[in-house]
Structure 1
Amino acid sequence: MSVKTLDYTPAYPPYPSLWMGGYGGAPRGNAGQVGKRLRAQCVVIDDGVSTKVMLRVDVVSIPREVHQEIRSLVDPMIGDTADFMMIASHTHSGPFIGTTRPDPYILMGLTAADINAVAATTDVFIGQLVALVQQTINMARTPVTLWYAEGDVVIGYNRADGSAVLDTVPVMVARRTNNNALFAVLFGYACHAVARGNDKVFCSDYPGAATDRITAQLGVPAFFFQGAAGDQDPLDPHQPSQVDTLGNQLGNEVIAVVNNTGLFSEVTGPIVTAYTEVDLPLSVDLGDPAALINQSNRYYGLMGEYEPGSFGSKHAEVMTQQMEHGSVGVPTAMPMPIQRWRMGGLTILALAHEVLSPYAIKLRNQYQGGDLWVMAYANETEGYVAANYILQAGGSEHLGYEAGWIDDDTISGEGTWTTFYAYPAPLKASPDGVSQAVPGTAEHLVIQTCMNLLNS
């Protein structure tokens, strides 16, 4: 194993833009203040078969086009695309990366010049991450054994419907083969990284605080991997001091688990990897020319109904412009990468996008093959993937934010995720009155694809 950490906290220069991502509204830019440094970290594992690479980074999201560019540059270094995995921490106190999803014009009203600067910053970001991977691959390997255990802690709540609160803390440790000394700690949790709240300070939020705590106490590098946090928020109040409060709680739980060696089971190789993508359908089939024309007319009409400059007005403007180019100009589905790494004693399942907690619960309950670590915000983040019942509920749950609609499930709701991520309609749910996710709906496709990967 080889590991390397890069402090990539943006500064001008070389970063052309210091616009920040994570909160909608007025443009939010950093002016040099840093709460906790932003990290990109790489873990390289040679299992005797091939080189496996895990890249995690303190950023709110990675759009599809950025993910694909990074992957195209990393793949030649390792040979098999399934052997490369990338996870965003989802801190809302990092740079705005990419110019597509979320849409910087809809989200913050950025000008064309600002968006060009964001694009240039994205190029710097991509270059730094790819260089980090190359450097870590080139490092000498330390022979290690791997071990897995789970702790639990509650530092968040369910903001969508108040039900499931994820408390599992996955912990994998690497120990030097020659003397069993600790070499690295990989850990996870599922909770939005928004403990700091909305300000103009770069900060890795509670994951960064937890990482600092673990490294300070155990003396080895620590690596945080985000879970199915789409409906999980950190405990209030969201303010700068809460970053250390919650981060230390999480870090202390990881430390307690690591120190209790009796909890761990050995993880063995080789690592068998798989990568696939599934297209999640929207509630309206915009591949149908008649449906596309109807949706375009609806958005054209909405431009006159929303207050000028509002989220809804800007979204309707963008949708109308995209639909002028027909189905090639507007998304007709949400592509979702899903990745599996199977080891002896542990399987890692990495899901793209802002996946809600019911997916982690269902997958862990259904999988009978041993320990399962569910990660999210994996490879790319282009929107929310809600459970079927949330998609059906619309505006009756958390103002429809995670569902993507408010009072009409065939059109994006103003101020919901489909507005900010520039989608023309929410994801497809089961018909009214049908509680289970039926074939052809978003939840059914995700669960089916995941279980096929897990059982293959």
Structure 2
Amino acid sequence: MSFEAAVGEVDITPVHPPYPSLWMGGYGWSPRGNHGAVARRLRAQCLVLWDGGTPKVLLRADLVSIPRDVNQQIRTTLVSEGLVAAEDLMLLASHTHSGPLFGDTRPSPQVMMGLTQADVDAVNGTTSMITELMVQLVRDTVAEQRTAVTLSYAEGQAKIGYNRVAGTGAVLDTVPVLRLKKTGGALFAVVFGAACHPVSRGNDDVFDGEFPEVAAKLVENALGVPALFVQGACGDQEANDPHSPATTEQLGTALGQEVLDVLAGPGFSTVTGPVATALTEVSLPFHTDTTDPAVRAAVLHKYEIRRRVLPKTDPNRRHADLMVKSINAGTLPTSIPMPIQRWRFGGLSILALAHEPLSTYHVRLRAEFAGKLWVMGYANECEGYVADNDTLRSGGNLHFGYEAGWNKSDPTIAAEGSYCISYAWPGPLKFSDTAVPAAGTTERIVMDASLGLLSS
């Protein structure tokens, strides 16, 4: 079956003026801002596929993450305008750590970098400007002239990272490639992916689309068509060391060359319509049941102690201040919402997981699903890590508990320096102390929902 397609893009690199904020996201625990240096422009790209006259919209951006409120704003706006159905809109962040701080909720600018309210107001101004550019990009791309295309899919391999959590855990080297060709046979566009944290540049003050942008530009310059990068389940996948601008070039070139090699090869299989889309949302409970007043009082006591012993300049103290305030106000969250999205083509299924999923989900979902499966991460919204049960129950025994969210044999509160601190959550997600995760725990919830979508 033939599709119709259009591709658009817009530059979203903040420049002051008119952007009020050049604060950067991706690293804690002190203020980090851009001063005008740009290695590679940041961009948002939109691919619209018309399937039987119905648009499916993939909107990806060179951002570290998209918070929940921004996802909802973009989705509500475009759905209310009648441009796309909610399940037919997929938002994807590249997770570059060399882009702007985006939004004021998760991660928390106050906790992560100690920003003042004036700084946060500026961050929100930049966020609003980029959000409007992304919304307008969809409007413009939907209105573009359509080109009849056929789709095909293949996979390559590129080893550009390692597993930072387990050391000997899964290392994802799959390079998915979706090829769009015009009816006459000429290439129209390429969508490709990898699963690796875009931290290869390191913690400096330069805006950079990172190794995904190096790879995309290499493909675009070689073939003369748009290339769109999407991120995989890379919560525990770290870019190869040393982190430096030279490493960014090296890894991006290796990834881009692999995409070119795949495109030049014979390994593609046909991808057809119609496309069956679905979007669901699960709630991931915390390990500590903060709906129980007695439990909540115990958590409050521990955070009050942390407040007393840590200096005000410590981000863990800032987090404790926020937790105490939330508990006293009755606004402490009891779970993390997680959207999960499926686009099923003939010959390919795409599963888009919100947040920062660890590689285990990629491995286990592909093992349990019989067809060709592309697992994407950082989809629609990103507000924390989603670890597998083994990582969660190991706590501080793996990578200091950063991805698990707890250590020191205390899963009732957030570990100092863990993702729960910057993302402003009270503690780790629920796990079971068994090899097979129990019903109602994080891994079971995510796997059951994902496999249910894939099989429905």
TM-score, with normalisation over the residues of structure 1? 0.97
Q: Is the 8 A contact 1:14 1:124 kept in 2?
A: no
The aligned counterpart of 1:450 is: 450
Residue pair 1:191, 1:226 contacting (<8 A) in 2 also: yes
The aligned counterpart of 1:366 is 368
* Structure 2: unaligned runs, 5 residues or longer: none
Q: Residue 60 of structure 2 aligns with which residue?
A: 56
- Could you tell me whether the CA contact under 8 Å between 1:161 and 1:397 is conserved in 2? yes
Determine the C-alpha separation between the residues in 2 that align with 1:290 and 1:223: 50
Residue identity opposite 2:367 in structure 1: N
Q: Which residue of 1 aligns with 2:91?
A: 86
Out of 25, 30, 37, the position equivalent to 1:26 is 30
* Superimposed CA distance per residue, residues 306-337 of structure 1 (whole angstroms, 9 cap, x where no aligned partner): 233112111100101111111xx121101000
Deviations 1:377-435 (A, max 9, x none): 0000000000100001111110110000111111100000001100001001103xx11
Tell me, in whole angstroms, the C-alpha distance in 2 between the residues paired with 1:287 and 1:275: 28
The answer to whether 1:312 aligns with 2:316 is yes
Matched to 1:312, the amino acid is N
1:7 pairs with 2:11: yes
- Please state whether the residue corresponding to 1:336 is helix, strand or coil: strand
Is 304-313 or 239-248 further displaced after alignment? 304-313
After superposition, the C-alpha distances for 1:174-201 in whole angstroms (9 at most, x for unaligned) are 0001x11000000000000011000000
Give 2:341's aligned residue: 339
* Residues 164 and 236 in structure 2, CA contact (< 8 A), matched pair in contact too: yes
Length, aligned pairs only: 449
Q: Within 1, Cα distance between the matches of 2:143 and 2:446?
A: 36
| 1:110 aligned partner | 115
Instruction: Give the superposition deviation at 1:437.
Output: 0.9
1:57-456 matches, cutoff 5 A: 57-76=61-80, 77-162=82-167, 163-177=169-183, 179-260=184-265, 262-326=266-330, 329-368=331-370, 370-407=371-408, 408-431=410-433, 434-456=434-456
Cα distance between partner residues in 2 of 1:128 and 1:21:
19
Q: String of CA shifts for 1:326-375, please: whole Å, max 9, x gaps.
A: 1xx1211010000000000000000000000000000000001x110000
Q: Report the CA distance between 1:290 and its aligned residue.
A: 2.4
Contact 1:49 1:270 in 2 (8 A): no
Q: Is the 8 A contact 1:97 1:122 kept in 2?
A: yes
Q: Distance in 2 between matches of 1:233 and 1:225?
A: 16
How many angstroms does 1:298 deviate by? 1.9
Deviation at 1:131, TM superposition (A): 0.4
2:22 & 2:207 partners in 1: Cα distance?
Answer: 10
Contact 2:56 2:84 in 1 (8 A): no
- Are the counterparts in 1 of residues 348 and 374 from structure 2 also a CA contact under 8 Å? yes
1:29 CA displacement: 0.7
Q: Is the 8 A contact 1:50 1:78 kept in 2?
A: no
Residue 34 of structure 1: SS of its match in structure 2?
Answer: coil
Runs of at least 4 residues of structure 1 off by over 2 A?
A: 76-79
Partner of 2:275, secondary structure, is strand
Q: Decide which moves more: 314-323 or 68-77.
A: 68-77
Give the aligned residue type for 1:184.
Answer: A
Query: Aligned-pair RMSD on alpha carbons?
Result: 0.9
Q: Percent identity?
A: 51
Take 1:287 and 1:58, find their aligned partners in 2: how far apart are those partners?
37
SS at match of 1:151: strand
C-alpha distance in structure 1 between counterparts of 2:351 and 2:35, whole Å = 38
Q: CA deviation at 1:289?
A: 2.4
Aligned partner letter, 2:181: R
Q: Distance in 1 between matches of 2:177 and 2:111?
A: 38
Q: CA separation in 1, counterparts of 2:233 and 2:83? A: 28
Q: In structure 2, what residue type is equivalent to 1:390? A: T
> What is the TM-score with the length of structure 2 in the denominator?
0.97
Task: Compute the displacement of 1:8 (Å).
Answer: 1.2
Which runs of 5 or more structure 1 residues have no equivalent in the other structure?
none
- State the alpha-carbon separation in 1 of the partners of residues 84 and 63 from structure 2: 26
